[in-house]
Structure formats: structure tokens, C-alpha cells
Structure 1
Amino acid sequence: MKYLIAIVGLLVVFGLAYMVSNNKKNIKFKPIIMMVIIQMILAFLLLNTTLGLVLIQGIAGVFTKLLEYAGSGISFVFGGLANEGESPFFINVLLPIVFISVLIGIFQYLKILPFVMKGIGLLLSKVNGMGKLESYNAVASAMIGQSEVFITVKKQLGQLSEQRLYTLCASAMSTVSMSIVGAYMTMVEPRYVVTALVINLFGGFIIASIINPYDVDPAEDILDIQEEEEKQSFFEMIGEYILDGFKVAVIVGAMLIGFVALMEGINNVFDLAFGISFQQILGYIFSPIAVIMGVPLAEAVQAGGIMATKLVTNEFVAMMDLAKMAEDFSPRTLGIISVFLVSFANFSSIGIVAGAVKSLNEQKGNVVARFGLKLLYGASLVSVLSAVIVSIIL
């Protein structure tokens, strides 16, 4: 039965993408089919094999150790701020982003990260039927973040067509950056975080290939990655990445304060007025999508509420809600919803991506703002697609 539901889920996802395609006749089905098969193979290897288990345990172990290192710095500055036995979210989940941001900066400075991103990007371009720039951008988004990635391609922004710009932005919204992966792993099982990171990469290409098909002229597909115009010293770079990481932690914390409080207030108003919370209403609206993702009907409304929360607020709020309701879900449903939540597909990301592009090229930033809702639509379909793929494996 789960395979039948998964087939229906795949057809629905592809159908919804096809409905808004800007060039239905130009869709290349061979790369799409190949990438779906790759997604299934990777999901199976990561979730159902000893090799996958060892790999994920290794990655989780690395992030656990990094969080321990981050904890020493946090304890030095904020030690004694919380009562013994308490675990403040900002201190234990968000502040480690600062340390991981520094590590990303060091790997960038040593040219290790650009080399890896460019290499994987070139390899992916052989599979996805897209340009080298699009492939590089998807990998870079997953490593350095959805706003920072555009700095590395700012030379090309002015020459990009609207179609190519859409794909670059869709990749940025469909993935998550390495700097906050550690934070996710404190709320969601690491194996689902790692699996989502990997298959979302291909999911972004699949959905973009349907919604936004186009051909790239090889002569225009020059992968000339932007280097820093003014060479920084090593310690200048470290200081910059420390501040950048802290800004991310504070911004996420501020958004959580606002969104959690707003959701609580709206839920209370709806409960008093209609006897049902706003999240429950959203749950009923999103429950059909949860069902095609493989969530049992009995759990679909609660799952749909968490999915909707992620869309209208962000993934952190939704992950916190999932942690509170974890006992109400079967292990399989927990896995499916966890994978769905690991992406930047929410309304606030439209502003983040459009703002990042606009800061580098105002004209292109305005173009991104115009197709913002279509961008979110595509990125949300990527999350659903990844959840459907995982439902086949679990």
C-alpha cells in the first residue's frame, strides 16, 4: 500500500509542478527520471544500510564534537545564566552556529570549500542536464547558505536570464546551510537531516527542470567563481565569520520570539472564537499533502499542522512543535515529517533571497521579488518530493 501511495504522491508533485511550467514542451524527462532514481538509491543507502548508518553516525559524531567545542566558548561567556538542568534554546541550539560559521570561514579561506563545491557542481552538471553554474550554486547553497552563496556568483548575476536566476534562487531555498545543520541535529534525528540535505539537492533540480525548463548555451556557462576583491588576513576573516555567525543566531532567535508568540496568540484567538486553534485549521488544509507523503490518515491532521507551521513561520518553529508531539507519531511518520522540515522553504525566505540578490544587483533583485511566490511554490514541492522518496524507503 505504501508504494501505491508513494506513486500517487510522485504523480501529484510532478503534476503540480507541470501545471505552472513556463515551457511544457521543453521539459527533459530523462534527467528527471535519472535523478529520482538517484534520490531513491541515496535514501536507501543512508537509511537502510550499514554503510549509511556508519556514515551518518560519523557525521553526527563530528557535529556532536563541534557542539561540545562550541559549548566551551558559550559556557565561558554565558555560564551560570541558566539554572542547573535547564537547556535554553538560544544558548544550546543557536549560539553554536557562531563556531560552525568560523569553521566554514577557515575552509573558505584555505580554498578547500570552493574546490569541493566546484568539483561536486561539475559532477552534478553531467547528471541534471543543467548548466555548471546552476550545479555549483546548489552545492554552494548547501554549504555556505542561501544568502551568502550569491556573493560567489555576483559577476554572473547581471548576465543571467530570468530562467537561470529562478533556478539559482530555487536551489538556495530548497537546501539548508552547513552552519545550522548542528542546530537541526539537536531537534531532529541526524539521519533524517543528512538524508534531506542530500536528496533535496537533486529535488531542487527535478522541480526546477519541470517548472522552469531551458537550454544553456555552453559558451555562456562560464563557471568563474568570485573571489574576495580585497585579500583579508586570516584573523580578519575569523572576526568577520564570528560576527556573521552571531548575527545569524540573533536573527533566528528574534524570528523565533516573534513567530512563536504570534502563533500562540493566533491559536488562542481562534480557540476562543471558534473552539479550534489556527494550527488545527491549517492541519486540516495540509492533511491531504501529508497523506500523499505517506503519513497515515490518523496522523495526517497533526502532521499537516506542523508542515503548515514551517511554511508560514520557519523550520525551527516547526521542529520545536514536532519535538513536543513526537510521542503522537509513529517512527515512520516522524521520519517523513522530519525530512520535509529540513529546508528553507517558507515565506520569510522569499525576502531573504530577494534581498541578498538585490544587495548585489538591484534589477535582478526586483526580478526575484516578482517570482517570489512561484519560488516558494517550487521549493515547497521539493520538500514534499523528498518526503515521498523517504516514505518509500522507511
Structure 2
Amino acid sequence: MFTILQGLLGLAVMILLAWAISEGRSRVRPRVIVAGLLCQFGLAAVLLKFPGASQLFEPLNALVRALQQATAAGSAFVFGFVGGGAAPYAVTSPPNGFVLAFQALPLVLVISALSALLFHWRVLPVIVRGFSWLLRKTFGIGGAVGFASAANVFVGMTEAPLLIRPYLSGMSRSELFAVMVTGMATIAGTVMVLYATLLEGSIPDPVRHLLIASLISAPASLLIAHVMIPPEREAAARQPSALPEEERLRYHSAMDAVTRGTLDGLQLWLNIIAMLLVLVALVHLANLGLAWIPEIAGAPLTLERLLGWAMAPIVWLTGIPWAESITAGALMGVKTVLNEFIAYIRLAGLPEGALSERSRLIMTYSLCGFANIGSLGILIGGLGVLAPERRGEIVDLGLRSLYAGTLATLMTGAVVGLVI
């Protein structure tokens, strides 16, 4: 009973935190808040509790395993034993033979190429249109906003706005903000499978939970975006949900889609490697500086401990027991200050007993979003190129979108904590 009250309190507090800095509190429509909560709870109940729902994801799990095996074959062929192939010597410590950049991260290249091919074959756009229809009917948003919000569940936060590029300049401030927040509150399919690979053994069916997390976070992001920047007038579904005609010709052939998708994935692969190297180094440097401070509570002061203390109250509101809130808060802090990739690595590496199985699941959902400082720069840069005439407004909305995206994923964690 207490955990139910804890989760409900968390949802109320997160909505109030968004309302506290709203640009138009009198224009906030209760209907949108109710619709967002019902949509979240409905999706969570159906996908997590409906009998037989887990079987629906079995083909997806089989696909992930096939992609992992295919990527391993390609990595071993290109990189040899460094990429997971047979070692030319006796391996005395197999765990130390795992090389993240050449064994796990190449999956990004394969997923990026496959995503481009599925877009060229019109498979992904059909799925996106279906989810877009649901969001537009539920929230009464415009077609372009609904399409971008749905696309963010499957592609990146810069690729989704690219699909509605002709409409960005004419969007209202509220609509533009909704697109930005949805990008912050979800993750791309290119990294979803990668994160699922990292979490195997830490939670059951990780790819299933990550996909559900992105699905649930889409209505949460629209709810929070509406509360923070409500529209000046009733949003009219005046924009078509279909892809603009010029975007349909983005790829000239299947081979062109594979080639360009691979090159896009290469850029993402290099960005991940570079950011991981620099961010881990900066965290270590910060901890070396904090080591000069005397120990607190019998342990050295670290960046992780500081983040844990700062974020403990907010993760407690998602349903995490207070005894585990420092550990969970540190994960949320790492995700916000650094990125969700490092946070998921930390979650997968937690010792047995650090978090209960329920808490691990809640944190998997709470961490599932691009809302971090590094992604903020990518979002502002990408949207600034797509809509240069609105660059100033995009920059102005940047920190608000980071704040809103974080609240949205925390709401998703709270909803899941109430449902499971």
C-alpha cells in the first residue's frame, strides 16, 4: 500500500515540478494530463501485465540474438581476436578479453544500416504512422508533432525532426518544444539493442523493457511538454502525418540505404567511443580532486556519491526504497550529467544486492532517455541546422527540454513501479 502511495505522490510531484515553471499555467488543460496518465498506465498494463504479452516480444528477442550473432561474425572477420574472434594464444582471463569498442559497439553500425533499409522499404514509416495516429487522437496534437513524437521511439532525436523538416519553421513554440522533449525522453533504435545487450543478465528480457520504456515515455513527454509550455490555442491537426514527398526519396535504392545508413552509424560509433573515453576520464579526474577532501561516513567522497545524495529524493518518488535510493540516485545523476550509456554500464555492473530486482527494473525505465547535457548539444545543433531561422528559440528551450525529458522518464519509472 505504501509503495502505491509513494508512486502516486511521485507522479503528482513531477507534474507539479513541470507546472512550477510553466509559461502559461492558466492554459494547461486537465484533459491532456488525464489523457497522458491514462495512456501511460494503459500501455504499461497491456505490455507488462496482459496475459501473453511477453510472447509478443519473443520474435524481437530472437531478432536481437540474430543481430548479435551477425555483428559478432562481422567484428571477428574485420578485427580478428580483438573483435571477438579466436585468440592466437591461451586466454587466462576471459573477462579481460572483452573490448567494448570492437565487440559491443559495432552493433550500432548494423542497426543503423538495417534501420535505413527498413525506412527505404517503407516498413518503419508504417509502424510510426500507427503510433502517430494514437498520439494525435489522444492528445489532439498536430500531425507533424504526432509523427515526430512517434518517430522518436524508433529513430534518433535529430533524425525524427528531419522527417518533418518542412513543418519546423511553421510550428508554434509549444509544438516545437513538444518535439524537443520527446527526443529527450526516448532513445533511438540504433542504441536500444546495444543497451539491451549490456543489460542481459541484469534484468529479464531487456530489449522488451527498453522498447516499452520508449513507448510509455512518448505520452509522458507530451504531457510534461504541455504543462510547461501549453499552446496559445487549441492545437489543430492541420499537418499531415505522412512523410513529406521529398523525404520519401531520401534513399535512391536499397544499396544506397545500406551504404548511407552504415556511414551514419560510423559517425555514431565514433562519437560514442570518443564521448565514453572523455567522460570516463573526466569522472576519474573529478574523483581525484575530491580525494583531497577528508572521508565522509567512512568512505572517500566521489562524484557518484554526490550525485546519489542529490538525486536520491527524486528516484525515491519513482518507487525505489529509501535504503536503495542513494545507489539509484547515483545512476540517475550519472545519466543526467554524463549519459545513459554509462549509467546502464553502471547498472549492469552493480554487485548483487545493491538494488532489488524491482528497483533495477524501475531504474531501467527511468534511465531510458537521451536527457543529458551531451545530448542537449546534439539536439540544439541538429535542430538549428534544420530550422536556422528558429535557432535562438531552440537554444532558449534547450535546458527546459532537458528538465522536461528527465521528468518524463522519471514518470515512466513511477508508472512501471505502480504496475509491476
TM-score bin (small chain): over 0.9
Q: Quick one: which amino acid aligns to residue 359 of structure 1? A: V
Size of the alignment, in residue pairs? 394
- Which residue of structure 2 aligns with residue 33 of structure 1? 34
Equivalent of residue 343 in structure 1, options 359, 362, 369: 369
- Which residue of structure 1 aligns with residue 6 of structure 2? 5
Equivalent of residue 118 in structure 1, options 109, 125, 129: 129
1:223 to 1:192, Cα distance in 2 relative to 1, 3 A: closer
Task: Please say if residues 350 and 369 of structure 1, whose CA atoms lie closer than 8 Å, have aligned partners that are also in contact.
Answer: no
- Which residue of structure 2 aligns with residue 60 of structure 1? 61
* Aligned mates of 2:283, 2:59 — CA distance in 1: 37
* Aligned mates of 2:58, 2:315 — CA distance in 1: 28
- Which residue of structure 1 aligns with residue 153 of structure 2? 142
* Aligned mates of 1:13, 1:317 — CA distance in 2: 25
- Which residue of structure 2 aligns with residue 291 of structure 1? 316
- TM-score scaled by structure 1? 0.95
| 1:40 CA displacement | 1.8
Task: Please say if residues 113 and 258 of structure 2, whose CA atoms lie closer than 8 Å, have aligned partners that are also in contact.
Answer: yes
Alpha-carbon RMSD across the aligned residues, in angstroms, is: 1.8
| 1:68 CA displacement | 1.3
* Aligned mates of 1:150, 1:8 — CA distance in 2: 34
* Aligned mates of 1:347, 1:174 — CA distance in 2: 13
Q: Is 1:162 the counterpart of 2:173 in the alignment?
A: yes
The SS at the match of 2:292 is helix
| 1:20 CA displacement | 1.2
| 1:124 CA displacement | 1.9
1:312-327 correspondence runs (5 A): 312-327=337-352
- Per-residue deviation, residues 278-319 of structure 1 (Å, max 9, x unmatched): 210111111101111111111111111110000000001111
* Aligned mates of 1:223, 1:360 — CA distance in 2: 19
Which one is further off, 311-320 or 113-122? 113-122
* Aligned mates of 2:192, 2:65 — CA distance in 1: 11
1:145-224 correspondence runs (5 A): 145-188=156-199, 189=203, 190=206, 191-214=208-231, 215-216=233-234, 218=236, 220-223=238-241
Task: Please say if residues 46 and 52 of structure 1, whose CA atoms lie closer than 8 Å, have aligned partners that are also in contact.
Answer: yes
* Aligned mates of 2:8, 2:180 — CA distance in 1: 28
* Aligned mates of 1:128, 1:93 — CA distance in 2: 38
Which one is further off, 80-89 or 31-40? 80-89
Q: Is 1:273 the counterpart of 2:293 in the alignment?
A: yes
* Aligned mates of 1:246, 1:304 — CA distance in 2: 33
- Which residue of structure 2 aligns with residue 359 of structure 1? 385
* Aligned mates of 2:22, 2:235 — CA distance in 1: 21
* Aligned mates of 2:126, 2:327 — CA distance in 1: 43
* Aligned mates of 2:44, 2:36 — CA distance in 1: 12
Q: Is 1:254 the counterpart of 2:271 in the alignment?
A: no
Q: Quick one: which amino acid aligns to residue 142 of structure 2? A: G
Which structure: greater helix fraction?
1
* Aligned mates of 1:219, 1:22 — CA distance in 2: 23
1:200 to 1:272, Cα distance in 2 relative to 1, 3 A: same
- Per-residue deviation, residues 138-169 of structure 1 (Å, max 9, x unmatched): 11112121111222111112212222111111
1:219 to 1:96, Cα distance in 2 relative to 1, 3 A: closer
- TM-score scaled by structure 2? 0.89
The SS at the match of 2:152 is helix
1:103 to 1:210, Cα distance in 2 relative to 1, 3 A: same
Structure 1: gaps (5+ residues): none
Q: Quick one: which amino acid aligns to residue 34 of structure 1? A: A
Q: Quick one: which amino acid aligns to residue 166 of structure 2? A: K
- Which residue of structure 2 aligns with residue 95 of structure 1? 106
Identity among equivalent pairs (%): 26
- Which residue of structure 2 aligns with residue 329 of structure 1? 355
Q: Quick one: which amino acid aligns to residue 288 of structure 2? A: N
Task: Please say if residues 46 and 56 of structure 1, whose CA atoms lie closer than 8 Å, have aligned partners that are also in contact.
Answer: no
Equivalent of residue 376 in structure 1, options 394, 398, 402: 402
* Aligned mates of 1:60, 1:119 — CA distance in 2: 22
Structure 2: gaps (5+ residues): 296-300
1:219 to 1:178, Cα distance in 2 relative to 1, 3 A: closer
Task: Please say if residues 173 and 345 of structure 1, whose CA atoms lie closer than 8 Å, have aligned partners that are also in contact.
Answer: yes
